[in-house]
Amino acid sequence: MKLLISILSYLCCYVLSANPTVFNYDEFGSLALEIVKFDVFYKTPDAVGNLYKSRDQDDRKYGKGGKLIKDDKYFYHNDEEGNLILKSTRNITKPLELPKATNFIDRLFGHTEEQKDQIANHQNWQQGDTAYTWLANGMLESVQNPNGELIRFEYDALGRRTAKLIIPPLGARGLIYRYFWDGNVLLHEWHYNLKERPKLVIQNGDLVYTHPEPTPPLGAGGLVTWVYEEGSFAPCAKIVGEEKYSIINDYIGRPIQCYDESGNIVWETDYDIYGQLRNLKGDRNFVPFRQLGQYEDVETGLYYNRFRYYSPESGMYISQDPIGLAGNNPNFYAYVHDSNNWVDVFGLMELFRSMSREEFFDIKNNGWDGKGNMYSKWFAESYDDAVKWGHTMGHGTDSKFYVVGFEIDDDIAKNAFIAGDKHDGIGRARAIDVDDLNKKATSVISINSQRVKCN
């Protein structure tokens, strides 16, 4: 019935526009369907948030906690921490079992050396597979592509990626991409031949580098500088040498167009419901930013999301939420439930707070303040509950209040005091100390205003 309604809506829109896009949502407000040029694309969630690309939810198989095991193209194998470590067209979900020997000689001597190698390497990388390795802190360390190319990543102490190393097979020339940050946004990037990278050696008992790191050349192919909308993760300009480009974003901060100084369009795209590029014009890498807070690595097909990596192919992260069940989501790999209206700039926990106009501008100008005896602030775990609290509290004298979505640091969210499932008769909430909110980064991801209901 919902599909029929969506198709009828599309036909009505088609009368008004040549290429309309129609979306449909399930009863929980999750984005579930998209119709483009009479093609239907499914993003059907089940009861615990597992996504399917079919109406009947029969194209994928999931394990506990939302772990993807199989889809219509690949099998997936995860380590004990829930991190994806191998993707293959072979069935790698369990150890290889060869047929039992049927004659006396084979039973006497057992498997041949070749068969033993097959068993031992079944769940390891082979030509055509994609393998992933992880650091002890849960950050992605490397990806080995189906052709054998190795991509390695390096990070600073804050989880910001500082380098991407491209190491081709058979000793071909490699590249290193270097990244320089301004707080939580990428400011500069450049690349050079991997062989030119300085090495750390011991000299007279001290650790020193063999030579200074190569500086980026000016002009094309040199230093890239990114400019952002004030106080935002949305890029608005790209500077390469003397060349300047303007970036146009959609309503939730995704880049959709890029223009040179003469007003010529040099890059353009739109997005499907999984965040993949559609109708791309220009070099894919020219603007690498995708959904807000995400940076695409074309070498891996993944979007770097600061603390995790998102797969636009599956519509989910390839590692678990580091706070696990504390995130109040039974699916540890889930992205936002509605990518048309919500973003996840860090891959961390989203919390929501309703507040008066006065509190909103006070936080914006002065940071978190424990006025009176309010040494902690309450946050709802869902947007809808925050709206209910706003109506209940009657914030503000102008009958208007704000509901603000925040990305909260994992350590803060995990250690916060958690109220019951029906705090104030509404829903789950967390009390977070003002000192923690000021000491550790909390990023605004959405702002919506509401009117207080009048009885």
**Higher confidence at residue 346 or residue 392?**
392
The amino acid that residue 325 corresponds to is: L
User: According to the model, what pLDDT value does residue 417 have?
Assistant: 80
Q: Is the pLDDT of residue 17 over 60?
A: no
Question: Using 50, 70 and 90 to split pLDDT, how confident is the model at 399?
Answer: low
- 175 CB burial (10 A radius; 0-12, 13-18, 19+): middle
Please say whether the beta carbons of 47 and 62 come within 8 A.
no
Local confidence band at 303 (pLDDT 50, 70, 90 cut-offs): very high
Quick one: average pLDDT of 292-299? Answer: 95
The burial of 249, by beta-carbon neighbours within 10 Å (0-12 exposed, 13-18 middle, 19 or more buried), is given as: middle
For residue 322, give the nearest of 223, 435, 409, 235 by alpha carbon.
409
The larger pLDDT score, comparing residue 401 to residue 350, is at 401
- What whole-number distance in Å separates Cα of residue 421 and Cα of residue 424? 9
Strand 31-36's sheet: what is its strand order? 21-25, 31-36, 39-42
Mean pLDDT of 244-273: 96
Q: What is the DSSP string of 116-164?
A: HHHHHHTTS--TT-EEEEE-TTS-EEEEE-TTS-EEEEEE-TTS-EEEE
User: What pLDDT does residue 95 have?
Assistant: 76
Residue 40 has pLDDT above 80, yes or no: yes
pLDDT over 80 (residue 18): no
- Top-confidence residue, 327 or 129: 129
What value does the mean pLDDT take over residues 422-432?
Answer: 83
Distance, CA of 422 to chain centre: 30
Is 189:235 a contact under the CB 8 Å cutoff?
no
Q: Please, what is the average pLDDT of the chain?
A: 83
**Stretch 24-53: mean pLDDT, rounded?**
86
pLDDT for position 432: 87
**Least reliable range by pLDDT among 147-151, 201-205, 309-313, 324-328:** 324-328
Partnered with residue 433 across adjacent β-strands are 376
Average pLDDT over residues 259-271: 97
Region 412-439 average pLDDT: 79
Reported as a pLDDT band with limits 50, 70 and 90, residue 407 is confident
pLDDT at 173: 87
Amino acid at 396: G
Report the DSSP pairing between strands 51-52 and 309-311: unpaired
pLDDT in tens, 76-120: 999 999 999 999 999 988 777 666 655 555 555 555 666 666 666
Q: Which domains does the chain possess?
A: 1-42 (no CATH), 58-90+126-321 (no CATH), 349-451 (3.20.170)
**Could you report the per-residue pLDDT of 108-162, keeping only the tens digit for each?**
555 566 666 666 677 889 999 999 999 998 999 999 999 999 999 999 988 899 9
Alpha-carbon gap, residue 60 to 50, rounded angstroms: 9
CA distance 198 to 361: 48
Residue 294: name the closest of 369, 363, 249, 347 by CA: 347
**Does pLDDT of 316 surpass 90?**
yes
Instruction: Assess whether pLDDT exceeds 90 at residue 225.
Output: yes
Whether pLDDT at 47 is above 60: yes
- Which contiguous run of DSSP H or E holds residue 412? helix 410-415
50-68 residue pLDDT tens: 999 999 999 999 998 899 9
Of the ranges 107-111, 119-123, 244-248, 410-414, which one carries the lowest mean pLDDT score?
107-111
